[in-house]
Structure 1
């Protein structure tokens, strides 16, 4: 007598819910985006270690502003290597902007803490950005204040500290820092304001350019106000105290 055997049916595999599927897709996209951004940013920073930084987002913004206002939109910028500049130039920016520059890894936490305490008092906002942070902001990012931009600034600061090194960071800063109206870098400022190359800058002239760096649209190295003259003297004294050997070790 034949017996009909009933084959056990396998239960269908549970399908993922639409919510889980959507989350997994978004997660993959985010992770891939982060990976591509990391690889792209490392390559970008590596290339700029060897290639002059001819244009920055701030230069573009200033040009657009000038065009919109109907002003002359010519940008004055002339890339000059570190070794072709007067040694007074790098010494002046370190003396005025970031005296711990040769020692830190991109962040001066003591100054940041002091600035935070000062700003809590509700007075005029004081910054504590190092030269490395300013280079990261000027070369790779847009202007403005947001947590996203500050986070990216910290990221690029670490990248240039590791990949570029101190001398390259200082070289880029000396070429892209805003030194006057539509003027960027020490070479362009030297040519426009003192009619000479940056290789011939004196200590006082270099200190005067550094004196206007916090507010280059407000102050002028060519026609210095009393504040700029006083600040120039202070920076020159700091330069004498630090000495050129402070920069030569970079």
Structure 2
């Protein structure tokens, strides 16, 4: 079979150059659509990649701090090196049904939508998988667009990762102050102890500061924050079956 010179050149061309040549041949609108599709698919590919235990993901906020030359403090630790009191407190504060839903608490989500449609003030309604998906792949804002992207990412993360891996990632990327990411950096910054040595009260203070870590300082709590921490501390002590997916 005869092969034209153009065909021979195409076969000899490396794959990445063939892809680049193919993209150059597309119209601008087509390239924009392909770029958007690639951005939509990338997080799901990363979810599979993050199955590997020695890969330590970074959040979009951490990337922002790097781009703005601010830097940040994050020291990755395994779940086994985090005080169980902290894990219990975060679950009781952020997502009491963590062990029982598949990434999204649909009952809570339905009530959130109903409250929004009625014009009532709403709670966050985010599960730990949803917050993890937002921190890893999306941005901070209250919008239906972000929430629409967040939901399938949360379901996919919960399906692909074990509950232990998901919790480990969440606790290592959560923000606990300006430039303070992950529980190890947070424990040392606020209480001068490693994450493994956090007391129940310290763990509760860190847990209740998560919704607004810039304004809520776990190391210097006001009266309101201390009151919330006392409630979470009691709940964490009686967590029982609520945390079996982590410590079974």
Which of 44, 47, 51 is the matching residue for 1:45?
Answer: 47
Tell me the matched-pair count: 219
Q: Deviations over 1:124-175 (max 9, x none)?
A: 4421010000000100112334444322212211221111121111111111
In structure 2, the partner of 1:224 is 221
Which of 53, 61, 66 is the matching residue for 2:64?
Answer: 61
Which of 132, 139, 156 is the matching residue for 2:153?
Answer: 156
Matches within 5 A, 1:2-151: 40-50=42-52, 51-62=54-65, 73-120=70-117, 122-151=119-148
What is the CA RMSD across the aligned residues, in angstroms?
2.7
Contact in 1 for aligned 2:102/2:158 (Cα 8 Å): yes
Moved over 6 A (4+): 25-35
In structure 1, the partner of 2:192 is 195
Q: CA deviation at 1:104?
A: 0.2
Q: 1:216 to 1:197 in 2, by over 3 A?
A: same
User: Aligned to 1:183, what secondary structure does the other structure show?
Assistant: coil
Contact in 2 for aligned 1:119/1:126 (Cα 8 Å): no
Distance 1:74 1:188 in 2: 13
In structure 2, the partner of 1:166 is 163
Distance 1:35 1:120 in 2: 31
In structure 2, the partner of 1:9 is none
Larger radius of gyration: 1
- Structure 1, unmatched stretches of 5+, are 1-24, 68-72
- Structure 2, unmatched stretches of 5+, are 1-26
Q: 1:140 to 1:39 in 2, by over 3 A?
A: closer
Distance 1:205 1:110 in 2: 31
Q: Deviations over 1:45-100 (max 9, x none)?
A: 111122443421112334566x6xxxxx3412111111111111211111000000
Q: 1:217 to 1:35 in 2, by over 3 A?
A: closer
Q: Deviations over 1:32-53 (max 9, x none)?
A: 7788667644432111122443
Contact in 2 for aligned 1:52/1:79 (Cα 8 Å): no
